[in-house]
Structure 1
Amino acid sequence: MFDPSRLTDEVVVECFDDMAQDAHGNETGGEWGELIEAQPAGLIAKSGGETVQQGRMEGRLLFEVVLRFNVSNQTITEKDRLRVSRAGGALPIGSVLNIKHVPIDVDQPRRRWLRFQAEFGSQDGN
């Protein structure tokens, strides 16, 4: 069972809109926009690792992200990302976490929590 006192961070769920337009109606390369407004979250650091990308070492941190269960949060996919909007100590404000697995488990039968695996430190910075 997850302890609600561990919801010390706050995250915004963002999705990529590849059909974004500028002020003149021209299609742009796309941008990240808010999908679900800021909500309390628990960011629990898991393991870290390194990969080699284009001859460079790249560090990555894995997190378990816990959100309260609600209908909006059920729509989160691996194409979305999380942005820290209030920092509780795990990561600074503005940090971006790429969602890797959704959801790991749902606290059945009460359905109180959704647990995601997310990664901080991706190559493209998204």
Structure 2
Amino acid sequence: MFVNVLRFRFKEGVSDEEQAEVLAAMRRTASLESSAFGVVGADLGDPAEGFTHAYLSAIPDLEAFRRYTWDPVHLAGDELILDKIETMRAVRFSDDDPAISQAMYAEVAAKQERYPEWSRRVAELFGE
């Protein structure tokens, strides 16, 4: 099992309607067949950290992660989401063989190569 937790906040000026649209897109991604379970909602952490919302998706295995990464619903959600979020941080972990991370990050590298603009925008969100 691979778990991806994203904490984020919206950009100033993003309307309530736009926020609802982003959260709906995230819920669609978190509920893909390749995800064992997902949760999207208010971040209940320390407000001083600056995050208002969180996303969680649990992916059962590497093959499911590949389907999740390339799913058209996920790709379309990325396009909608990235322009509305100011900052994001991730916590990722797995209860499987630690070597699985190499294969998963190789899949992410392939996505970065195929979608360089997506890669640049994600790097900006993570402050890289």
Larger Rg: 1
> What interval of TM-score do these two structures reach, taking the shorter chain for normalisation?
under 0.3
TM-score normalized by structure 1? Answer: 0.27
Structure number with the higher helix fraction is 2
Structure with larger RCO (C-alpha < 8 A, sep 6+): 2
TM-score normalized by structure 2? Answer: 0.26
Structure number with the higher strand fraction is 1
